Amino acid sequence: MAYTVNGKTAEADEEGFLVNINEWDEEFAVLIAKDEGINMTPEHWEVVNFLREYYAEYQIAPAVRVLTKAVAKKMGPDKGNNKYLYELFPYGPAKQACKIAGLPKPTGCI
Amino acid sequence: MAAFETPVLGNVEERPIPALVPNATNDLKCFVAAPAHQEALGFPGELVPDWQAKAKARMGDLLSKYRSLQVFMDSCVKCGACTDKCHYFIGTGDPKNMPVARQDLFRSVYRKWFTPAGKMVPGLVGAKEFTRDLLDDWYNYFHQCSQCRRCSLYCPYGIDTAEVSMAAREIMDSIGLGQKYCNEIIGKVHRIGNNLGLPGPALEDTLLGLEEDMQAETGLDIKIPIDVEGAEVLLVTPSADFFAEPHVLGLMGYAKVFHAAGISWTVSTKASEAGNFGMFIGNYDQLRKIAGRVRTAAQELKVKRLVFGECGHAWRVAYSFLNTVAGPWDFLDPRYPVPQHILEFTYNLIKDKAIRLDKSANAGKILTVHDSCNIARGSRMGDFPGGQFHIPREVIKAAVPTFVDMHKDTICEKTFCCGGGGGLLTDELLEIRVKGARPRMEALKQVVDDHKVTHMASMCAICKAQFTKVLPAYGFDREMVVSVHQLVGDALLLGNND
């Protein structure tokens, strides 16, 4: 499959994860989120931007706990928990947020 | 993914045999491995043109190599004892999810190729041509088997459907029809070191963060040492323990146990994965290669003992096959079993009063436990029969005020799979995972209703991830599932333990 927005096309795998993370931009993020039934708010963007920064440094998405701590730092301690992340990304912060951020899907026993 | 209905939970005391729903899960197909995933493991990239001939040759190899497979093919008398023992059949009603029918997908081809009657009078003995349609059935239904071996417990001949399903997957890999989930992950183990694809620097950063958390919580410098040469113990644990919830709480529990006992330990970036998906795909070479990393890490780090973290199938590989595929382990301290399970390790420390637990830390929690299938039916723990059932329960009881077992037909050797084992823990199979969890959810609901159970402890990374996903589908809180060592870590008395 592929995503198309404003004349740009980005190839995705059968689950909707971008094949090439460099093709990602914010318009694709909005489109992927829409497919997932998510309307991007500033809180969603905080998470997505953090994921991309972390990935750029470590070539993997952050562990759920690393993410919740970063969220707590940026958005306040009451939001630094799993429940809040599931409110933002109902299918699970690890996989759904990664998809929107254009990162590969985390694999394994998770 | 198409919408589907979550099964309505029945009464665990009188579970009826489900009405048959032919082809109910015929279209539930997991993603096929891409050429890159296949070739990285030495398998053909895609279905080879002469796949039938290749499949026949591979089946012949397997039959001559594994006598068990030959016996399983020949000994079924169609008694029907297995039919309603599979959680996927109970959850879907699809007759091809009856263990005997699953085996017969393989057996029908075996008879056609390898038995005189099947060659001469195929119609009379259920022998079939290996057509493309039948191959599709193989792909679908051998990936709707979690290799949990519950059916084999009830089979009067001990026919092990898990082994048949492993052989089928091995044949499919050899002709270029592999499963994306398992094969992509095995590639990551070879390339990066673990199922997650967590590189060394990311692992170090993650562990530092966990040490900070434990410092904030306890005021103590509790470490998760990494690549420390000369440590007493090498801990090999599923990489999900570094990444996911509630797994990571279990990892912090192990760290607290080592700290409290004063035993030096380390994890390894080389063996940063306990899991061994080589078993799921029935490929001996992969199983051996993945297990070999543990040996190399233990030798390089000059450790004296080998301990495995909370992972079901890893423990089957470790307990049952490690000496064959990665031994001998004569360089380790002979006073300790090789390998040891972290639960056995903690159990011994509790028994010897080398660590002490205060149950009141878990006040208000009422626990039950989910026996992981590979631990229950594929291995043992400790030095006495039934240790794999007794030890986890004793550790939990030492950490919490109240413990209740689920229904007797669903625990210990009769445990039901969580619904996500054997390489099925992938999103596109969510429907079969939810439906397959039904018998476990029924048993859980009974103890929630009757005994006000608040949490279910699990000792396997796959079970933990699967329950986190499927509990909400049945109306339970996803945080009901906890790691055994999470309970231990919370109850452990730290500080001065002289």
Question: How confident is the model over B275-329, as pLDDT tens digits?
Answer: 999 999 999 999 999 999 999 999 999 999 999 999 999 999 999 999 999 999 9
The verdict on a CB contact (< 8 Å) between B195 and A82 is no
Residues B307 and B397 in one domain: yes
Confidence of residue B15 (pLDDT cuts 50, 70, 90): confident
Residue B389 lies in a domain: yes
Say yes or no to pLDDT of B498 above 80: no
Half-sphere exposure for B430 (CA within 13 Å, toward CB) = 17
**Residue ranges covered by each domain of chain A:** 2-100
Say yes or no to pLDDT of A6 above 90: yes
Residues B227 and B353 in one domain: yes
Question: How confident is the model over B427-439, as pLDDT tens digits?
Answer: 999 999 999 999 9
Instruction: Give me the number of domains chain B comprises.
Output: 2
Task: Point out the domain boundary residue: B150, B185, B220.
Answer: B185
Question: How confident is the model over B18-67, as pLDDT tens digits?
Answer: 999 999 999 999 999 999 999 999 999 999 999 999 999 999 999 999 99
The neighbour count for residue B156, using CB atoms within 10 Å, is: 10
Residues B250 and B360 in one domain: yes
Best mutation target, B179, B180, B186, B196, to test chain A (most A CBs within 10 A): B196
Residue B434 lies in a domain: no
The verdict on a CB contact (< 8 Å) between B181 and A66 is no
Residues B133 and B211 in one domain: no
Residues B16 and B141 in one domain: yes
In this predicted structure, what is the pLDDT of residue B299? 98
The verdict on a CB contact (< 8 Å) between A109 and B201 is no
Residues B174 and B216 in one domain: no
The DSSP bridge partners found for residue A8 are A5
Residues B263 and B306 in one domain: yes
Residues B254 and B340 in one domain: yes
Phi/psi for B341 (5° steps) reads -85, 145
Whether the CB of A109 is below 8 Å from some CB of chain B: the reply is yes
Residues B107 and B21 in one domain: yes
A98 in active site = no
Instruction: Give the CA distances from residue B131 to residues B31, B108, B127, B128, B194, in Å, rounded to whole numbers and listed in that order.
Output: 20, 11, 12, 8, 37
Pairing status of strand A8-11 against strand A2-5:
antiparallel
Residue B498 lies in a domain: no
Residues B134 and B231 in one domain: no
Mean pLDDT of all residues belonging to chain B: 97
Determine what percent of chain A is predicted with pLDDT higher than 90.
Answer: 90
Q: What is the CATH number of the domain that holds B159?
A: 1.10.1060
Residue B146 lies in a domain: yes
Residue B325 lies in a domain: yes
Residue B416 lies in a domain: no
Residues 49-78, chain A, touching B (beta carbon < 8 A): 58-60, 62-66, 69
The verdict on a CB contact (< 8 Å) between B240 and A60 is no
Whether the CB of A82 is below 8 Å from some CB of chain B: the reply is yes
Residues B157 and B221 in one domain: no
Shortest CA gap B111–chain A (Å) = 36
| Among the ranges given (A74-78, B226-230, B487-491), the one the predictor scored with the smallest mean pLDDT | A74-78
Residues B109 and B77 in one domain: yes
Whole-model pTM?
Answer: 0.97
**Coil, strand or helix at B442:** helix
* CA-based nearest residue in chain B for residue A82: B245
Residue B21 lies in a domain: yes
Say yes or no to pLDDT of A104 above 60: yes
Upstream peptide bond of B339 is cis (omega within 30 degrees of 0): yes
Say yes or no to pLDDT of B335 above 60: yes
* CA-based nearest residue in chain A for residue B460: A109
Expressed as residue numbers, the domain containing B72 is: 12-185
Task: Point out the domain boundary residue: B140, B162, B185.
Answer: B185
Instruction: Give the CA distances from residue B471 to residues A23, B6, B13, B240, B345, in Å, rounded to whole numbers and listed in that order.
Output: 36, 11, 21, 19, 30
The verdict on a CB contact (< 8 Å) between B31 and A92 is no
CATH class name, domain A2-100? mainly alpha
Residue B253 lies in a domain: yes
What's the mean pLDDT in B366-371? 98
